[in-house]
Structure 1
Amino acid sequence: MFRSYAQTPPKGWNSWDSFGASVTESEVLGNAEMMAKSLKDYGWEYVVVDIQWYEPRADSCAYHPFTELRQDNYSRLIPAENRFPSSRGGQGFKPLADAVHGMGLNFGIHIMRGIPRQAVHNNTKIWGTQKTARDIADENSICPWNTDMYGVDASKEGAQAYYDSLLALYADWGVDFLKVDDIADSKLYGTHTGEIELIRKAIDGCGRPMVLSLSPGPAPIEFGTFFQRHANMWRLTDDLWDNWNQLYDMFGRCGKWSAFVGSGTWPDCDMLPLGHIGTRTVADGSEARMTRFTKDEQRSLMTLWSIFRSPLMFGGDLRKLDDWTRSLLTDPYLIDAHQNGRDAREVYRKDDLVIWVSESDARKYVACFNLSDDPARLPESVEGWLRTIGGDLHEVWENRTVSIADVETAFIAPHGVVLYVSK
């Protein structure tokens, strides 16, 4: 059963926030080495190469429309050798995956749904069938922001064979995590259920467990049970960057989706744009920088993602990981809530005060968020939730023991959070 692939929400690094479409092999290896050294012992395990690893000319987050892509004889995209030199000689990503596995980590890649336009225009072969690229393509199903692919018509003979051939190749490379884009919520066509079903079947038949992540969002909640049946992760938002309005909006999304959180199936709040991002250029058009989130906002983000149990995919350059950011990624209370929590839910929201509760075998959690621009006193109703913890409380972010009486006079910083746990 595919849900056994991700019993707890996945944690890893993804190349997009720092390198856009142009990450190189040396950059992937450098970030993998830092993950193995600094984060592996805290459960961080996936190293994911994001979009356009098959594009030789990629140089930023911008795409070169209709550019020539690297492709094998069976309509399958393969790594650009100038960016991933170990792929030469038809080896694909296997040498890079082997290197990542050798560090005790797991390897992942991003793909776009569909079949390459150039394969359709050249009518190239598909492995395992007499049908060709043109036979299965839906040339009216296109991505509005990337020109690499046509959609696949799931009703056509040969469509399953195409996706089977992709997953056979990825299994041979040693892929452990597959992120599929333009599929959970295509801006033009909604959710591509037919292609999701093809991919699910292909993964199940490829002989290698892989986590399946669907992007972008917002995934429609009416497809919630469908996503649970077919994927391990699905995005709740479009790309999330380091601005407060997007983080504010995520509280409403998490409140609606918490009922779908469960073993093997994880609604996905998107990446963590923390630390040093945009080593070359980032997608919002600005230059390389440290995250724009304030420290209070960073705590709020990490607390919400952890208590909600979203997958955690770090977007910063791990080679430049600072002590503050590392402390967020390795906090033992957040790790316990994220990996072992249960029954997480929003129990209070009035104006811009929000309370979430959760518990694990080890402790109970009460997270109180202030989403306003001014300091705020905790609502009176929080006392009832805190009394369920019993006795003195530990406040995680101030790292101190407090009593119920202390809480009654406490304030939360603007855009900040207090996280109370049982001692």
Structure 2
Amino acid sequence: MAGKAPLCAFFLLLLSTSAAAIRPARSAAATAWRPALENGLGRTPQMGWNSWNHFHCKINEEIIREIADAMADNGLAKLGYEYINIDDCWAAYDRDSKGNLAANASTFPSGIPALADYVHGKGLKLGIYGDAGSRTCSKLMPGSLGYKTDAKTFASWGVDYLKYDNCNNQGMSPQPREVDDPGTWAGGVGNSWRTTGDIKDTWASMTAIADKNNKWASYAGPGGWNDPDMLEVGNGGMTAEEYRSHFSIWALVKLPKVKNNIIQQTVHTFKQAPLLIDCDIRSMSKETKEILSNQNVIAVNQDELGVQGHKVQQDGDQEVWAGPLSGGRIAMVLWNRGSTEASITASWSSIGLNASTVADAHDLWTDEVISSVQGELKETVDSHACKTYVVTPK
């Protein structure tokens, strides 16, 4: 959701490179896992930037162009951050004389096609925001309810990515009784779906979102993934350690656990949770850039195996999250959610290794390697901090 209406029913994402179709959802599958939309898109998790959490409705084409410039120039694009996504409030209050959506003439005077050309010229892709109801969540833009031609409009403008909301839908839920659980049905209409309410730039919100997203591990398939909302890193509401925890957990949170032979055969195409930056990258601090640019952590998110990472141990505020990677490796986060420093012990049996296994543990934030660990890894972790490892059996 764009963040204005906490009672909005769901968030749905579509990716498009040609004439996309906004179409009704199919009924929920009898089992959790189901094939995702087979449109050839979304085969890898999206990485990029979104305007909402930092700018809200205070956006214009100059800001978007400058964000695209920054993404191309500061090294983030080379790391895989490729989408520049405009959220709510880009459009005129009313449709044009032909019933089509139109950009706000005062804030986007050049129009969306020209902006798409500019973004594409930077080697990036443009995303845009729409809504399935009569008006968007801000109520400042028309929604697409009753206007099937909007998808063709977005495609004709050169839009690559559609973030599709569901405010003001006049009670026309896509799935009766399941509208708040898009993981159960959205795989048939989009390449990604929100699993939680809107994130806020606070420790309490971020940790609650992580917990809520954890239960949706098995509700996705090739070409589609769960979305626990955008990254708050760099917006100023949390400490550096809290942001490192935020980034580490979002990188680890991936798609389904292998549940049957069908999934086993296609697991190499399963991908991870989105990494969408939502701060002002034109003026981000060195610390923020270092967090968002950590190639070790990004590699966990983009790993070709793409199997779900989830919470595997909990002792009060001390937790261990883990998930398998390609090559028999394990990604592991020791997360201290308490208010004081604490010791956390991750047992090999909890993360999927035999107790007798000898392994090296690569700390993804310090780049140090703990050699020849057997049975468990015990570390002291600061308050609201984490230690993130890739464990490689010898």
**Contact 2:128/2:161 (<8 A) preserved:** yes
Question: For residue 370 of structure 2, what is the amino acid of its counterpart?
Answer: V
1:321 deviates by 2.5
**Contact 1:376/1:411 (<8 A) preserved:** yes
Counterpart Cα distance in 2 of 1:182 and 1:343: 27
1:354 deviates by 2.2
Q: Percent identity?
A: 27
Q: Which residue of 2 aligns with 1:266?
A: 225
Counterpart Cα distance in 1 of 2:370 and 2:206: 28
Match of 2:114 among 90, 95, 105: 95
**Contact 1:219/1:237 (<8 A) preserved:** no
1:227 aligned onto 2:179 = no
3-state SS of paired residue (1:231): coil
1:381 deviates by 3.2
Question: For residue 353 of structure 1, what is the amino acid of its counterpart?
Answer: Q
Q: Which residue of 1 aligns with 2:198?
A: 239
Structure 2: which 5+ runs fail to align? 1-36, 254-271
Q: Which residue of 1 aligns with 2:66?
A: 30
1:302 deviates by 0.5
Counterpart Cα distance in 2 of 1:54 and 1:333: 39
Deviations 1:88-137, CA, capped at 9 Å, x for gaps: xxxxx111101111111111111222345xxxxxxxxxxxxxxxxxxxxx
Question: For residue 100 of structure 1, what is the amino acid of its counterpart?
Answer: V
Match of 1:413 among 377, 382, 392: 382
Against the structure 1 CA distance between its residues 317 and 76, is the aligned structure 2 distance closer, same or farther, given a 3 Å change threshold? same
Question: For residue 101 of structure 2, what is the amino acid of its counterpart?
Answer: L
1:311 deviates by 0.9
1:48 deviates by 0.8
Between 1:379-388 and 1:320-329, the stretch displaced more is 379-388
Counterpart Cα distance in 2 of 1:98 and 1:54: 18
Against the structure 1 CA distance between its residues 114 and 21, is the aligned structure 2 distance closer, same or farther, given a 3 Å change threshold? same
1:377 deviates by 1.2
Q: Which residue of 1 aligns with 2:315?
A: 350
**Contact 2:336/2:384 (<8 A) preserved:** yes
1:235 deviates by 1.6
**Contact 2:196/2:213 (<8 A) preserved:** no
1:172 deviates by 0.6
Against the structure 1 CA distance between its residues 269 and 19, is the aligned structure 2 distance closer, same or farther, given a 3 Å change threshold? same
1:181 deviates by 1.8
Q: Which residue of 2 aligns with 1:359?
A: 324
Counterpart Cα distance in 2 of 1:194 and 1:364: 37
1:252 aligned onto 2:217 = no
Q: Which residue of 2 aligns with 1:146?
A: 139
Q: Which residue of 1 aligns with 2:335?
A: 369
1:402 deviates by 1.6
Q: Which residue of 2 aligns with 1:42?
A: 79
- RMSD after superposition: 2.9
3-state SS of paired residue (1:12): strand
Against the structure 1 CA distance between its residues 390 and 5, is the aligned structure 2 distance closer, same or farther, given a 3 Å change threshold? farther
Match of 1:168 among 134, 142, 152: 152
1:187 deviates by 10
**Contact 2:88/2:138 (<8 A) preserved:** no
**Contact 2:358/2:375 (<8 A) preserved:** no
* Structure with max Cα Rg: 1
Q: Which residue of 1 aligns with 2:264?
A: none
Against the structure 1 CA distance between its residues 408 and 268, is the aligned structure 2 distance closer, same or farther, given a 3 Å change threshold? closer
Q: Which residue of 1 aligns with 2:285?
A: 322
1:166 deviates by 0.6
Question: For residue 322 of structure 1, what is the amino acid of its counterpart?
Answer: S
TM-score normalised to structure 2 length:
0.76
1:360 deviates by 2.6
TM-score normalised to structure 1 length:
0.71
Q: Which residue of 2 aligns with 1:335?
A: 298
Q: Which residue of 1 aligns with 2:48?
A: 12
**Contact 1:243/1:292 (<8 A) preserved:** yes
Counterpart Cα distance in 2 of 1:413 and 1:239: 27
1:75 aligned onto 2:43 = no
**Contact 2:186/2:193 (<8 A) preserved:** yes
3-state SS of paired residue (1:28): helix
Moved over 6 A (4+): none
1:297 deviates by 0.8
Q: Which residue of 1 aligns with 2:245?
A: 300
Question: For residue 193 of structure 1, what is the amino acid of its counterpart?
Answer: P
Against the structure 1 CA distance between its residues 367 and 242, is the aligned structure 2 distance closer, same or farther, given a 3 Å change threshold? same
1:345 deviates by 2.8
1:49 deviates by 0.9
Against the structure 1 CA distance between its residues 405 and 373, is the aligned structure 2 distance closer, same or farther, given a 3 Å change threshold? farther
1:350 deviates by 3.2
Deviations 1:271-315, CA, capped at 9 Å, x for gaps: 11222x4xxxxxxxxxxxxx1211111111111111113211111
Higher relative contact order (CA 8 A, sep 6+): 2
Structure number with higher helix proportion: 1
Q: Which residue of 2 aligns with 1:132?
A: none
Structure 1: which 5+ runs fail to align? 56-68, 88-92, 117-142, 153-158, 196-217, 278-290
